Amino acid sequence: MPAGRPPLVARAVRAVRRMPNPRLTGLGSGLFCAAAAAALGGLDRALFGASPTLYGVLFLPVCVLTGLWVRRGDLSAAPVVVPIAFAVGLTAVAESGDGVGGRLMGLVTALATEAGWLYGGTLLAGLTVIVRRVRLVRRRAARGRPPG
C-alpha cells in the first residue's frame, strides 16, 4: 500500500458519507420507489427486451435506498410501499396479450413468477428499517443514561 493513502475501508466510508442523504416522508418514499421502479422497468424494456429477472435484480438497490431514505417517523412505510412499487415497474416488463384482460393476466403471471424478487426486496427494505430503528432506540437510550 502506498504511503499517504488511506485504507480501502476508510475511503469507502468517506464515499458513502458523500452520497445524498434525503429524508423522505412515507408518501415521498412511496413516490420515489414507484418512480424508480417504473424507470427501471421502462429502461429494461427499452434496452434489454423486458427481462423480468434483470428488473428484479435492479429493483433490490431501490428497496435498500427506500429503507435508508425514509425519515425516522415513517420507517414503517418502506416495507409497505416496496411491493406496490414492484408491481408498478413490473407492468413495463410483463408479457401481455390483447386488451385490458391480457395485460392484467400478464401482470398477474409476472407477479407470480417473479415473487422471489418481490419478497427479497421487501425483506431488504424491512431489514434496513429494522436496523435503523434499533440504532435509533440505542441512541435514545444512551442519551438517557448518566455518563460512565
Quick check: is 4 in a domain? no
Per the structure, the count of domains in the chain is: 1
**88: amino acid identity, one letter:** V
**Residue 39 forms part of a structural domain:** yes
For the purposes of burial, counting CB atoms within 10 Å of the CB of 39, is it exposed (0-12), middle (13-18) or buried (19 or more)? middle
Q: What is the pLDDT of residues 63-102, one digit of tens each?
A: 999 999 999 999 999 999 999 999 999 999 988 878 889 9
Q: Which domain holds residue 82?
A: 22-142
Maximum Cα interatomic distance, the chain, rounded to a whole number of Å: 70
Grid cell 458519507 is found at 17
Query: Residue range 113-124: average pLDDT?
Result: 96
Amino acid letter, 111:
L
Of the listed ranges 3-7, 26-30, 31-35, the one predicted with least confidence: 3-7
Q: How far is CA 38 from CA 5, 60, 108, 132, in A?
A: 41, 14, 17, 26
Considering the domain boundaries, does residue 148 fall inside one?
no
pLDDT tens for 119-135 read 999 999 999 999 999 99
| Lowest mean pLDDT across 8-12, 40-44, 53-57, 65-69 | 8-12
Give the distance from CA 91 to its chain's centroid: 17
pTM of the shown model: 0.81
Q: In this structure, is residue 12 part of a structural domain? A: no
6 inside domain: no
Tell me how many degrees the CA angle 81-83-89 measures, rounded to the nearest 5. Answer: 100
